[in-house]
Amino acid sequence: MLIDVIVPASGESILTANIARWHKGSGDSVRRGELLVTLETDKISNELEAASDGRLEILIAEGQEVPIGTVIGRLDTSAAFSPIGSTSEISPTSEISPIGPISPISPISPISPISPISPISPTSPTSPISPIEAAPGPVAAPMDSRSTRRKMSPLRRKIATQLVNAQQTAAILTTFNEVDMAAIIALRQQIQESFTGKHGVKLGFMAFFVKAVVLALKQVPALNARIDGSDVVENHFYDIGVAISTDRGLVVPVLRDCEQKSLGRIEQDIAGYAAKARDAKISLEDLQGGVFTLSNGGVFGSLLSTPILNPPQSGILGMHAIQQRPVAREGRIVIRPMMYLALSYDHRLVDGREAVTFLNHLKTSLETPIGLMLDA
């Protein structure tokens, strides 16, 4: 019996998927529940497991982008199971498959990800696909040895499209301020051991910023709103997106109901999302519904930037590197750990006065963080 390996639907707006990695080679024996292939879309990654014991036949190689519903492989459940899972251990006379011997394909790099990919026409989930038809076209030689050409990943294309759309559809303006991080640094050092013991995660800076942003949004509700046609939709909840950088690109999972959460719960949620992002297990639901975004370029050493809105949101806060700088305090020059803040906002909805007010509320909360420690 042959069981098709089909690219599943991942959401109404997702029409194609990229075959990121086959975890088994063509001709390998697999057990039911073993990981077969990782698929990437413009939003999430999806891992497909073997539906039954059998021998795998790969029809479409890594690096190809195919429509949802495409048959990308088959499992021959009538083939004898080999614990080694390699075609090199099988005699040419063995009855391994009704379709005959299959050349093994390395699970690591059967197709170079930088090779040009020939287009694939949409295929019905029930239509057979010939491995020959699915194979990529001839590899074009680079113009010179100093450059290569590769396809953009679905996620990178989605990011590019969204950033361009944000620039074209919103009147983006950025306002700056700075915050003295000395009080937060001292507080973290003071309670870090007990906090970690209680919550199982370390207390970072992001939880303070999430709580401070919630308080500032309550004071300046225009930044917790969005434009929908000729209407303004004001949100009365506080689901905050936190940008996380991965090898595949930037993802922005959403922390739900942050006004109800302690610093400990926020740090646990961030750690959970970071682990899911690292393992490419972020789901579509994780990324939807945020009202405001935090982006911390400071972890990479960025001193100042102008972040781009995450539509349809009307505000995004850029955090930056903490740097020891001379500042004036009570008529004296002192050295303090300072961070620049950058608030980008949709000027169609948010005025400069409201942006400055938001940043001032944020600055006050962060420089007197004891108020953010309630239920920490």
- 305, burial (CB in 10 Å: exposed 0-12, middle 13-18, buried 19+): middle
Question: So what's the pLDDT on residue 349?
Answer: 96
Q: How far apart are CA 77 and CA 1, in angstroms?
A: 5
308: pLDDT strictly greater than 90: yes
Q: How far apart are CA 124 and CA 158, in angstroms?
A: 25
For tokens 């998927």, name the residue: 17
How much is the mean pLDDT over the chain? Answer: 83
Largest CA distance in the chain: 91
Q: What is the pLDDT of residues 218-257, one digit of tens each?
A: 999 999 999 999 999 999 999 999 999 887 778 899 999 9
* Nearest residue to 322 (alpha-carbon basis) of 174, 182, 176: 182
Q: How far apart are the first and last CA of the chain?
A: 57
Computed from CA positions of residues 282, 284, 289, 293, in that sequence, does the dihedral angle turn out positive or negative? positive
- Which residues does the annotation mark as catalytic? 347, 351
Q: Report strand pairing: 16-22 vs 35-40.
A: antiparallel
Q: State how far Cα 332 lies from the chain centre.
A: 45
> Are the CB atoms for 186 and 320 separated by under 8 Å?
no
292: pLDDT strictly greater than 70: yes
Place 282 in a pLDDT band, splitting at 50, 70 and 90: confident
| Residue 5 parent element (H or E) | strand 2-6
Mean pLDDT value across residues 36-50:
81
Q: How far apart are CA 189 and CA 82, in angstroms?
A: 56
Please give the full DSSP string across 219-264, using - where no structure is assigned: H-GGGGEEEETTEEEE--S--EEE-EEETTEEE--EE--GGG--HH
> Are the CB atoms for 284 and 44 separated by under 8 Å?
yes
Domain boundaries, the chain: 1-151, 155-373
Least confident of 66-80, 124-138, 324-338: 124-138
May I ask the CATH architecture of the domain 1-151?
A: Beta Barrel (2.40)
Find out if CATH 2.70.98.60 is the number for domain 155-373: no
Question: So what's the pLDDT on residue 158?
Answer: 77
Place 193 in a pLDDT band, splitting at 50, 70 and 90: very high
Most confident by average pLDDT, 9-18, 87-96, 116-125:
9-18
43: pLDDT strictly greater than 70: no
Q: Where are the alpha helices (DSSP H) in the chain?
A: 131-134, 154-169, 182-199, 206-219, 263-278, 352-367
Q: Report strand pairing: 249-251 vs 323-329.
A: unpaired
Q: Residue 312: is the preceding peptide bond cis (ω within 30°)?
A: yes
Tokens encoding 279: 């393992």
263: pLDDT strictly greater than 50: yes
